[in-house]
Structure 1
Amino acid sequence: MSTRRNSARDRARRELGQNFLIDRSVARHLVDLLDPSPLPVVELGAGRGALTRELVHAGRTVTAVELDRHWSDELRDSCPRVSVIRCDMLDFRFPTAPYAVVGNLPFGITTAMTRRLLGERSWSEAMLLVQWDVARKRASGGSLLNAQWAPWYEFRLHGRVSARSFRPVPAVDGGILKVQRRPHPLMPLGDLRRYQRFVEAVFTGRGRGLAETVRNVTGCRIRNLPALPRDLTAEAWTHLYAETTCPKTRERFGRP
């Protein structure tokens, strides 16, 4: 009977994409990477509570988000000072007051959850445990998602985490990704939607090289561009957006 219950629970965990962090040194390191601050923390995917306990030990006020009923009940019992919310992290209603984010994100929803976070307005920093390749890609820039959000956020890699640090053991290593809101954005937030449409159009546009693609998309001739969109820095994207102010661009992307 016990074996059947455990097997059913194990299947449920796999369906939820749960890979629990079991290495206390990794949990401690991740929490130590947070900026010293009295801000409360929203923890995404609390699971067995490895990060939760380190956050509490560090004196943080924690709201733990966990979908699995078994582990949310365990957390309420073992961490009475923590506010435990049982729900899908993609459906969680984030606070309007300032806070920080910590999360061991299920590998299957990493990109969706990252996009959801980037669209929220009140958090200052996010320490995310994700797949190694995703963490490395985000920190190095060059992707559509990075380019669309780089004027408002910085992405930094803070180390690789062995797959053996999780249970069940995943097929790939993890990586610690820190996302920090820029204190001085590279462009006004009011330009967000227009800028993101512009970036997507350049990334998906046709042309032999970036200069031709930009000309095809905007009607503007811009010199001294690198070969590909992925080669542009956050500052270069901002400058390119500002330069393409010809009539065709204003009409397409809604610039005033």
Structure 2
Amino acid sequence: MHRARRRFGQNFLHDRQVIQQMVMAIAPRAEEAFLEVGPGHGALTRPLLDHAARLTAIEVDRDLVATLRHWDAAHTGQLRVIEADALAEPIQPLIDAAGQPLRIVGNLPYNLSTPLLFHLSAFTHGIRDLHLLLQREVVDRMAAGPGSRVYGRLSVMIQARCRIEPLFEVPPGAFSPPPTITSRFVRLIPHTHPPLGDTDGECLARVVAAAFAQRRKTLRNALRGLLDATAIRDAGIDPTTRAEQIDLAGYGRLADTLQTQQDTQ
């Protein structure tokens, strides 16, 4: 039996009742195309294939890849296995190859969940939805609003891209080895009409990253080098406020101000 490797952040889901609950929430159909990140022992892979869905699985652990490729041979044309680090694997070619909006599923490794969320959610135009198993605290951060102690960069950037639907909690005992924290299954649905409209994504990312880099600083100080106090006021925001006090729309205005500033330089 394959042993979990700490460097890959592996906690393998094994609870059949939880797996069934996840599959019911995903509601796969035969004509759909899926991308599974970190299939591990195939707890989700098997039931998705049972629904005759087309699935591409990205797995970094070569020993697990070997097992999955046996399944690949048995499900010709239905399963494709890629041995790769999901963070380094380009998503757009997989979207293009699917020929339809891609559905993403995964039990994300806890040590890489945040960077993977940024990576996967950056391609919202070609993604129908994402069903992900994450640390409960990460889901709380994604869904947090201004003023919350867990509201931060992840909250703003994910909310700008997707609607967040926390579904249900998964206890440590559902995994092997059991983690020390509770997990939560969450659905992310890319916005059909983004709440920030045509706001430039790169400008938004720069403003949000700078604002939350040192949370205790006022925006006047945190955004120094990007926007001065006058520009912050022009965005309708008091420069003496702190990052956690600004809502999504406010960050959109700051990003638009930065874009205008760059266009006039």
Q: Same fold (TM over 0.5)?
A: yes
Give the corresponding residue for 1:171. Answer: 180
Per the TM alignment, residue 105 of structure 1 is displaced from its structure 2 partner at its CA by 0.8
Give the corresponding residue for 2:205. Answer: 196
List aligned pairs for 1:19-34, cutoff 5 A: 19-34=11-26
Cα distance in 2 for residues equivalent to 1:114 and 1:207? 25
Amino acid at match of 2:134: V
1:90 pairs with one of 83, 87, 91: 87
- Residues 1:114 and 2:117 are matched in the alignment: yes
Give the corresponding residue for 2:68. Answer: 75
Query: 1:202–1:217: 8 Å Cα contact kept in structure 2?
Result: no
SS across alignment from 2:5: helix
List aligned pairs for 1:141-156, cutoff 5 A: 141=145, 142-156=151-165
Amino acid at match of 2:9: G
- Residues 1:135 and 2:132 are matched in the alignment: no
Give the TM-score normalised by structure 2: 0.76
Render the CA deviation track for 1:20-41: whole Å, top value 9, x for unaligned: 0001222222232236663300
SS across alignment from 2:209: helix
Cα distance in 2 for residues equivalent to 1:168 and 1:205? 35
Cα distance in 2 for residues equivalent to 1:233 and 1:118? 20
Amino acid at match of 1:20: F
Query: 1:31–1:51: 8 Å Cα contact kept in structure 2?
Result: yes
2:243 pairs with one of 212, 229, 238: 229
Could you tell which deviates more after superposition, 200-209 or 97-106? 200-209
Distance 1:255 1:64, change over 3 A: same
Distance 1:125 1:217, change over 3 A: farther
Give the corresponding residue for 1:18. Answer: 10
Aligned length in residues: 242
Structure 1: runs of 5 or more not aligned: 1-5
| RMSD between superposed Cα atoms in Å | 3.2
Render the CA deviation track for 1:118-170: whole Å, top value 9, x for unaligned: 22352221111111111222122421122134222222211111010000111
Per the TM alignment, residue 204 of structure 1 is displaced from its structure 2 partner at its CA by 4.4
Percent of pairs identical after alignment? 26
Distance 1:87 1:196, change over 3 A: closer
Query: 2:203–2:259: 8 Å Cα contact kept in structure 1?
Result: no
Give the corresponding residue for 1:3. Answer: none
Query: 1:64–1:83: 8 Å Cα contact kept in structure 2?
Result: yes
SS across alignment from 1:154: strand
Structure 2: runs of 5 or more not aligned: 146-150
Query: 1:104–1:129: 8 Å Cα contact kept in structure 2?
Result: yes
Amino acid at match of 1:14: R
Query: 1:143–1:230: 8 Å Cα contact kept in structure 2?
Result: yes
Cα distance in 2 for residues equivalent to 1:207 and 1:162? 34
Cα distance in 2 for residues equivalent to 1:138 and 1:189? 22
Give the TM-score normalised by structure 1: 0.79
